């Protein structure tokens, strides 16, 4: 292994293969993560993040040279993310954001790389100290990442330490979807929900789990639905925080006032907030050039979703800290997965569930 100083690369040289080789070279010994025991196999190897300083410096330089568009011509965010918001976000990114804190967090969880059916799968694996804990497969969507689960990993794996019942403990397995984060990028079409479901089922088997549950949101809920339809041996339960059930016209007509309000909210989303979905499900490569080359463009593209669909609609910062938003954006910027993640939406053909049932 060369000295660490010799492993510093120029950003242009940090292609995916080089990055994976670098991560493997810098990986800690093949020991289990501190949170529990895990046996390494020929399929699964430890993965340790150590992004070169040169990549971070190049990012800051790019941010300093951003050419900004004109300000929006309205006083709200109806035209998209507002200029002042994105400028403030990018200035914090350039001058104050600390990637190393996020990197240390991911490494502390225990990261691994699996090769399954020719597909590289990056995943977190955090084992509970409770001997009877249930393995739980947790699946993110877009524009998310494994960081979606950062605040629940502790309570799920060690409920006793968080005031919970130790009998309700879980081992957490959180893969990065193909084309996202540090997982491999599919080189062709055909890696849709059923294929990703197969990969995740095989991952759970490779980890030696013969009884497990799963949770999914957004695209992850679609994968969870595909897994459930396959009825794999060992699956004992499913939780989804994104509805995969489409209302019929009759159900929509007979909906309660509360349900009609929910349908109205869905209509607003698909009519006014879903431009990203149409773009990514029809022309992902076109938007991919901007997402790959412009950190401010990538930031605005992802920030808009935190703004429009977070718990505090229209005010992303009321639900997430600036650093939490940037942590997520970094898992698209560093591995250059803006385009490959967008192509996943194309392969899944995202469409309005409301319109699949009827015109709202």
Report whether pLDDT(18) > 50.
no
Domain count along the chain: 2
User: Count of residues for the chain?
Assistant: 360
Q: Does residue 194 sit within a domain?
A: yes
Q: Does residue 315 sit within a domain?
A: yes
Domain containing 202 equals 4-54+99-240
Is the separation of the CB atoms in 52 and 99 below 8 Å? no
**Same domain assignment for residues 39 and 156:** yes
**Same domain assignment for residues 220 and 271:** no
d(CA 160, CA 330): 32
Q: Does residue 17 sit within a domain?
A: yes
d(CA 247, CA 51): 46
**Same domain assignment for residues 16 and 129:** yes
d(CA 276, CA 356): 18
d(CA 336, CA 270): 28
Bridge partners (DSSP) of residue 44 are 114
**Domain final residue, candidates 240, 272, 297:** 240
**Same domain assignment for residues 234 and 263:** no
Tokens of 45: 């190897």
**Domain final residue, candidates 240, 257, 275:** 240
Single out the residue of 303, 17, 27, 2 nearest to residue 182, CA to CA.
17
**Same domain assignment for residues 160 and 19:** yes
Query: In 303-337, which positions are buried (b, 16+ CB within 10 angstroms) versus exposed (e)?
Result: bbbbbbebeebeebbeebebbbbbbbbbbbbbbbb
Is the separation of the CB atoms in 113 and 30 below 8 Å? no
Element at 240 (helix H, strand E)? strand 235-240
The DSSP bridge pattern shows strands 134-139 and 111-116 to be: unpaired
CATH number at residue 235: 3.40.50.1820
User: In 99-197, where do the E strands start and end?
Assistant: 111-116, 119-126, 134-139, 170-175
**Domain final residue, candidates 215, 240, 265:** 240
73 backbone dihedrals φ, ψ, rounded to 5°: -100, 15
**Same domain assignment for residues 140 and 222:** yes
**Same domain assignment for residues 26 and 171:** yes
Mean residue pLDDT of the chain comes to: 86
Report the alpha-carbon angle 338-341-344, nearest 5: 150
d(CA 208, CA 94): 43
**Same domain assignment for residues 257 and 231:** no
Tens-place pLDDT, residues 245-277: 778 999 999 999 999 998 888 888 888 878 888
End-to-end CA distance of the chain: 61
Is the separation of the CB atoms in 208 and 173 below 8 Å? no
- H-only helix segments in 96-192: 99-109, 153-157
Tens-place pLDDT, residues 75-96: 998 999 999 999 999 999 999 9
Q: Does residue 83 sit within a domain?
A: no
Cβ atoms within 10 Å of 270's Cβ, excluding its own: 16
**Same domain assignment for residues 47 and 187:** yes
**Same domain assignment for residues 304 and 322:** yes
Report whether pLDDT(23) > 50.
no
d(CA 344, CA 270): 19
Report whether pLDDT(36) > 50.
no
Question: Which pTM was predicted?
Answer: 0.84
Q: Does residue 67 sit within a domain?
A: no
Which pLDDT does position 272 carry in this prediction?
86
Q: Confidence band (pLDDT; 50, 70, 90) for 34? A: very low
Q: Does residue 68 sit within a domain?
A: no
Tens-place pLDDT, residues 171-189: 999 999 999 999 999 988 8
Q: Does residue 93 sit within a domain?
A: no
């Amino acid at each position: 292994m060369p000295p660490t100083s010799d492993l510093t690369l120029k950003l242009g040289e940090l292609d995916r293969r080089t990055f994976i080789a670098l991560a493997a070279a810098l990986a800690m010994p093949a020991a289990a993560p501190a949170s529990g025991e895990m046996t390494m196999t020929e399929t699964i190897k430890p993965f340790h993040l150590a992004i070169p300083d040169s990549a971070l410096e190049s990012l800051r330089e790019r941010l300093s040279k951003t050419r900004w568009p004109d300000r929006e011509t309205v006083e709200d965010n109806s035209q998209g993310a507002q200029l002042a918001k994105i400028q403030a976000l990018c200035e914090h990114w350039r001058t104050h954001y600390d990637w190393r804190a996020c990197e240390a967090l991911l490494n502390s969880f225990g990261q691994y790389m699996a090769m399954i059916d020719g597909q590289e799968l990056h995943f977190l694996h955090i084992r509970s100290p409770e001997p009877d804990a249930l393995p739980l497969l947790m699946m993110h969507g877009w524009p998310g990442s494994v960081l979606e689960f950062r605040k629940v990993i502790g309570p799920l794996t060690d409920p006793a330490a968080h005031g919970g019942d130790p009998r309700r403990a879980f081992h957490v397995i959180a893969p990065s979807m193909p084309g996202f984060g540090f997982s491999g990028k599919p080189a062709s079409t055909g890696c849709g929900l059923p294929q990703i479901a197969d990969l995740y089922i095989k991952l759970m088997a490779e980890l030696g789990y013969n009884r497990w549950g799963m949770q999914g949101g957004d695209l992850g809920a679609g994968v969870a639905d595909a897994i459930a339809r396959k009825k794999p041996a060992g699956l004992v339960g499913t939780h989804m925080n994104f509805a995969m059930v489409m209302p019929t016209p009759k159900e929509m007509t007979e909906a309660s006032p509360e349900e009609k309000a929910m349908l109205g909210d869905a209509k607003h989303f698909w009519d006014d907030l879903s431009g990203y979905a149409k773009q990514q499900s029809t022309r992902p490569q076109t938007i991919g050039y901007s997402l790959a080359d412009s950190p401010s463009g990538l930031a605005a593209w992802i920030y808009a979703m935190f703004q429009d669909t977070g718990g505090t609609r229209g005010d992303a910062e009321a639900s997430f800290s600036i650093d939490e938003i940037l942590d997520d954006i970094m898992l698209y910027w560093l591995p250059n997965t803006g385009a490959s993640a967008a192509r996943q939406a194309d392969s899944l053909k995202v469409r309005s569930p409301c319109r699949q049932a009827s015109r709202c």
